[in-house]
């Protein structure tokens, strides 16, 4: 078997920042550190931190007054920030800066009187936080069919934003339909889908033609990981989204001579390495690292943690 190991893959700058933030908070402030929602959407990462004293909550009423609290990479609404202040929580904001960019755009468009179409997935943590910035001005759009059901006058002030972890192709299909229906639609000067999401999707799109199957390491609730697996399927090869090597069914790979391996932006490299090791041992696989694009992006830690940053 030949393994084509996609690069870039795995952790993005926002995930790296969020994980280092929680590590430093646990080291410097001590356990427990409460985290609003999962720090990132990866079961392995969440369980690892839970074992070290992080407590993940979906409601701030579960957090004792005065406790240390970390906001996850996906961002939160103003209501959550206000509630944290009311409960006198020591809140550390580990929101990805690219998500913060979308929040600021939502506030700007709402202030200027626009109705904002947010292209994204209902119930996703990032979407909930973004819509909370201007709930009266925002309409969630999940598909081209949703666009067809929209009813606005021709002179309405309309804008769109996108969830950062969407499929680029899916988002573009929805945007094209929005523009067909609403030619005066405006958008931010720079697109919202994050660089890492686009790069990982590009790698799958470029490399899928060289493989018969694809293994995507990532959790089921990771939107960007789901998109990678879907993209591989759309490229005409079999694909499976797995949390770890333990979920691989050897029957999937019967007769497979080449397999593409990649990982979502919240999946740690240690999980990728264990999958590669398993393929090498079981199938005497050779591994080719296929680099499609170089990444050098990094984000600063939240201000309260910068003095504690590892050198």
The catalytic residue positions are 126
Q: Among residues 114, 254, 136, 248, which one has the least CA distance to residue 185?
A: 114
CB atoms within 10 A of CB 172: 15
CA-angle at 100, arms to 94 and 106, nearest 5°:
150
| Strand bridging mode 54-57 / 238-242 | unpaired
Token pair for 290? 């296929």
The answer to whether the CB of 76 falls within 8 A of the CB of 38 is no
């Amino acid at each position: 078997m030949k393994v084509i190991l996609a690069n870039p893959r795995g952790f993005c700058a926002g995930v790296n920042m969020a994980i280092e933030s929680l590590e430093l908070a646990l080291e410097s402030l001590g356990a427990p550190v409460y985290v609003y929602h999962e720090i990132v959407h990866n079961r392995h990462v969440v369980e690892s931190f839970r074992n070290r004293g992080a407590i993940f909550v979906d409601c701030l009423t579960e957090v004792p007054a005065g406790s240390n609290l970390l906001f996850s990479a996906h961002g939160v609404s103003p209501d959550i920030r206000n509630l944290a202040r009311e409960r006198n929580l020591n809140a550390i904001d580990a929101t990805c800066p690219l998500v913060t960019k979308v929040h600021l755009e939502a506030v700007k468009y709402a202030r200027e009187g626009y109705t904002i179409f947010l292209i994204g997935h209902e119930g996703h943590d990032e979407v909930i936080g973004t819509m909370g910035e201007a709930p009266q001005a925002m309409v969630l759009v999940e598909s081209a069919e949703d666009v067809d059901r929209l009813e606005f006058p021709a002179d309405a002030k309309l804008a769109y934003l996108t969830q950062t972890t969407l499929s680029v192709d899916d988002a573009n299909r929805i945007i094209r339909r929005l523009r067909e229906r609403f030619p005066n639609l405006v958008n931010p000067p720079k697109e919202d889908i994050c660089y890492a999401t686009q790069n990982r999707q590009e790698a799958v799109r470029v490399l899928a033609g060289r493989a018969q199957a694809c293994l995507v390491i990532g959790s089921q609730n990771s939107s960007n990981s789901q998109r990678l697996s879907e993209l591989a399927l759309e490229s005409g090869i079999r694909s499976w989204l797995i949390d770890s090597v333990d979920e691989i069914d050897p029957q999937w790979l019967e007769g497979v001579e080449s397999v593409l391996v990649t990982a979502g932006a919240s999946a740690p490299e240690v999980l990728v390495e264990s999958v590669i090791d398993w393929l090498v041992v079981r199938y005497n696989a050779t591994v080719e690292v296929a680099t499609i694009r170089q990444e050098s992006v990094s984000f600063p830690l939240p201000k309260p943690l910068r003095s504690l940053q590892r050198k």
